[in-house]
Amino acid sequence: ILYHDSNSDTIIENSTFENVTSSTPSIFLNNNIIREATKPSLTIRNCKFKNFKTNISNFIHTNGGAVSFIDSQLENIEAINHKTELEFCDRFPYNCAIFGSLENNSGINFVNTVLKNITGYVGFSSGFNGKLFVDNCFFQNNQLKYGHIYISDNKRSYGVYNITNSVFDNNISDKGTIVHVYKNLYSTFSIDIDNTIFKNNHANDHGGVMYSSSKFNNNMIKINDCQFFNNSAGQSGYILMSLNKNSIPLFIYKNEELLNEFLFYLNDTKSFTSNPSYIACDPRKKYFSINSGITPFETINCNIYDDYGNEIKLDSNIDDYSLNDLLYFSVNIYDENGIQSKTAKIYGSHNGYCWSNTCYIGNMKGKI
C-alpha cells in the first residue's frame, strides 16, 4: 500500500482498505525514514484494514521514525505464507511478524485500536532500539503460532515493549499466547505491561499467557496491576510457564484487591509452572544398599516435577514427540558422601528417556 522513504510526514485518515490479496510476500506499510522513534513519520488515524488474505512479511515495517495507529481497526487478516513457509519464519522471525517489525531506532504506536481475527507466525518483533507502545487497544481472536510478542535467541531480537490499559481476549498460540521468550541469551529487551486484562487466551502446549525459557525474565519483564481470567493451556501453565521459579517476571501490585487475585493464581498448581526440575521415584528411598551382582528392583518408576511441585504430564503417544520434547535421564552410582563411584559399575539399561508421564528404569545390576 505504501513505501515511505522521503523525509516527510504522511497522514492517512478516515479511509478503508479491504479485500486485499497478493501472491508475492510484501509489506503493507513500509516506513524507511531515518528519524528518532519519538517522532512519527507516518500516522494512520480512523482507518479500517479488513479482509486481507495474502502473502505478507509484515503489516508494518519501520526502519526509522515511528508509525502511529490511532482510533483504527485491523480485522480478518491472514498471512498465508506464515503457515506454508515455517522454516523461513523460524530462521527469520522478524520477517514474519504480522503486526509489525521494528529495526534500528524506530517505533510503532497503537492507540485506541482494535486488532482481531488475525492469523500469522508472531505479532511483533523488534530489532536494536525498536520501541513498541500500545495503549487502550483490544486484541481478540488472533491465532499467532508463537504469540503477540516474540523474543528469540537471534541477536537481532532486542526492543522495548510497553503495553497499557489494553485487553487480550480469546487469542490462541502454540506457546506463550501473549509473550513468548525463546532461549534469549542476551538481556537486551524489556517488556512492561500495565493495567491490562488477559482473558480466555489459550496455548496449545504451554503458557496460556506467557512462556519463557530465558533466565532474565525477573529483570526484563514487569507486569503491573494486571488481571487474568479463564486462561488455559493444553499441557501446563495456564498463565505462565518459565525456566524455573527464580526467573518468573516481576509482578507488581499496588491495588490490594488485584494482589489477592494474583496470589490465588500463584498458588494454583495449574496457573504457574516451570521446566522440569526434579524426579521422585518409586520405591522412594534416598539410599539403596545392595551386594555386587544383585538386581535391587525389577523396575524403578520415576515421575517428573517442576519447581512448583506440579507433576509434569507427558504425551503418551511417542509419535507426537520431537527431539526437543524428550526428557533424557542417566542413572549413576554415588557413595554416601555424594561422590560418584569409580569402582562400582552399573550393568543393564541405565540411560533412557521419559514418556507417558514416567521415567522407566528397567533391570540393572551393580558390580564392584
- C-beta separation of 217 from 251 below 8 A: no
- C-beta separation of 217 from 180 below 8 A: no
The predicted-structure confidence for 177-225, as pLDDT tens digits, reads as follows 999 988 765 557 889 999 999 999 999 999 999 998 887 666 789 999 9
pTM: 0.85
**246 three-class SS:** helix
What's the full length of the chain, in residues?
Answer: 368
As a whole number of angstroms, the distance between CA 356 and CA 327 comes to: 11
- C-beta separation of 31 from 61 below 8 A: yes
Per-residue DSSP letters for 288-300? Answer: ----TT----S-E
- C-beta separation of 60 from 67 below 8 A: yes
DSSP-assigned beta bridge partners for residue 189: none
- C-beta separation of 355 from 349 below 8 A: no
* One-letter identity of residue 45: R
Would you tell me how many other CB atoms lie within 10 Å of the CB of residue 187?
12
Residue with cell 558422601: 337
In a structure prediction context, what are the per-residue pLDDT tens digits for the chain, which is 368 residues long? 777 676 778 889 999 999 888 776 677 777 766 666 566 678 999 999 999 887 777 788 787 778 899 999 999 988 876 666 767 777 776 677 889 888 877 889 999 999 999 998 889 988 777 889 999 999 999 999 989 998 877 656 678 899 999 999 999 999 999 999 887 655 578 899 999 999 999 999 999 999 988 876 667 899 999 999 999 999 889 999 998 888 889 999 999 999 999 999 888 888 999 888 888 877 666 666 666 666 665 567 778 888 888 887 766 666 666 666 677 777 777 777 778 877 777 776 677 777 666 777 766 655 55
As a whole number of angstroms, the distance between CA 58 and CA 121 comes to: 10
Determine the longest span between alpha carbons in the chain, in angstroms.
84
Grid cell, residue 107, equals 517505533
- C-beta separation of 150 from 183 below 8 A: no
Nearest one of 260, 237, 257, 233 to 249, comparing CA atoms? 237
The predicted-structure confidence for 262-318, as pLDDT tens digits, reads as follows 999 888 888 999 888 888 877 666 666 666 666 665 567 778 888 888 887 766 666
- C-beta separation of 144 from 115 below 8 A: no
